[in-house]
Amino acid sequence: MRKKTTLIIAAASLVFALLTGCGDEKKTTGSEITSGTTSVSISSEESASEEDNSGKDTEAEDEIADEAEEDEEDEDIEEDEEEDEAEEETDGSGRKKKKKKKKTTEDTITTEETLNDNSNETSGESTASTAGNATTEAHDLSNRPNADTGTGTVKKLSKGDVAPDFTAELSGGGTFKLSDYDDKVVLINFWATWCGYCIEEMPAFERLKNDGIEDFELVCINCGEDEGTVDSFVNSEGYSFNFAYDPYYRIGDYYPSNGLPYTVIVERGVVYKVISGARSYSDYKAVIEDALGK
């Protein structure tokens, strides 16, 4: 009986043990399930949280993106404005450059006009042949003053005046009539043997004569001295250019001056240059070449 009872107890214990172990296993399983559920729940919550956060992050990112896009648009607008400004500045620079070029052109035109004015002034003082011709054409040489007949107005001469005509007796024979040389440039020098400066510039006239300049002639008219005095000087010096007599100032009165030497350059019948005092060979040569347009 005890043995049976013991067996029953042992069997019961075994069953209990089995039941207990199974329960634990089930419990464990349940726990695991519960834990898994919790995990799933937690995971779900985390997922939800993450989704919420993700949504928030997405919204934040969207806002950042929108702001970035706005910034980029603003930057693009600013860049466009800067480009427009740059283009405007470039255009402005171009216009300024064009204006400057125009100004340069105007300056060039002004410079050319100035040169032309200077050239005209030079023609007025020391002339070119063309300017001289124009001056000659502007005057009626047929009514020019004439020392031989004592006609016309006697006045101090200046550039552009018609040169008074005259006929002078030459040392060594012959005559010199100014109107015979209206197609040339003529140097008329007034001098006297007592004038030291007059004598000093005589070698310059001899050089000009020997240069053989085409369309050029010169004559030195002695003022107030007799023929013998003039001839003696010419013969002693051996000059080859023209010396003329004017013992009574018949010619000199039509070419008034304040003293000697006194030289008038005539270009085709018209006064081109009036020179008071002595000059060098190079000075005279330059004036003559200008008058001839060389």
190 plus 81 within the same structural domain: no
251, 147 Cβ separation under 8 angstroms: yes
- Residues 200, 203, 204, 210: what is their CA dihedral angle, to the nearest 10 degrees? 170
Of residues 227, 224, 221, the one with CA closest to residue 243: 221
More confident call, 20 vs 100: 20
Residue 102: band (very low, low, confident or very high) from pLDDT cuts 50, 70, 90: very low
Assign residue 189 the CATH number of its domain.
Answer: 3.40.30.10
Over range 273-279, report the average pLDDT: 97
Separation CA 101–CA 93 (nearest Å)? 12
| Secondary structure (3-state) at 49 | helix
Residues spanned by the domain of 9:
1-101
Separation CA 207–CA 202 (nearest Å)? 9
CB atoms within 10 A of CB 246: 21
Location of structure tokens 């464990």: 28
On whether residue 249 sits in a domain, the answer given is yes
288 plus 171 within the same structural domain: yes
On whether residue 44 sits in a domain, the answer given is yes
Residue 40: band (very low, low, confident or very high) from pLDDT cuts 50, 70, 90: very low
Residue 123: band (very low, low, confident or very high) from pLDDT cuts 50, 70, 90: very low
Per the confidence metrics, is the pTM higher than 0.75? no
φ, ψ dihedrals at 128, nearest 5°:
-105, 165
On whether residue 111 sits in a domain, the answer given is no
Separation CA 166–CA 175 (nearest Å)? 10
Q: Which residues contact 201 (CB under 8 A, 6 or more apart)?
A: 189, 261, 278, 279, 280
142 plus 29 within the same structural domain: no
Characterize 155-172 residue by residue with b for buried, 16 or more Cβ atoms within 10 angstroms of its Cβ, and e for exposed: eebebebbbbbbbbebbe
211 plus 94 within the same structural domain: no
82 plus 162 within the same structural domain: no
Mean of the per-residue pLDDT values of the chain: 73
- The last residue of one of the domains, among 82, 101, 120, is 101
165 plus 286 within the same structural domain: yes
Structurally, the chain folds into a number of domains equal to 2
258, 181 Cβ separation under 8 angstroms: no
CA distances to 172, 173, 207, 246, 282 from 235, in Å: 9, 13, 17, 18, 26
pLDDT of residue 37: 37
pLDDT of residue 79: 52
pLDDT of residue 72: 55
On whether residue 116 sits in a domain, the answer given is no
157 plus 59 within the same structural domain: no
- The last residue of one of the domains, among 101, 119, 139, is 101
Separation CA 192–CA 262 (nearest Å)? 10
- The last residue of one of the domains, among 53, 84, 101, is 101
CA angle 196, 201, 207 (to 5 degrees): 150
143 plus 251 within the same structural domain: yes
Characterize 247-266 residue by residue with b for buried, 16 or more Cβ atoms within 10 angstroms of its Cβ, and e for exposed: eeeebbebbebeebbbbbbb
Residue 220: band (very low, low, confident or very high) from pLDDT cuts 50, 70, 90: very high
Crossing angle of helices 202-210 and 281-292, rounded to 10°: 40
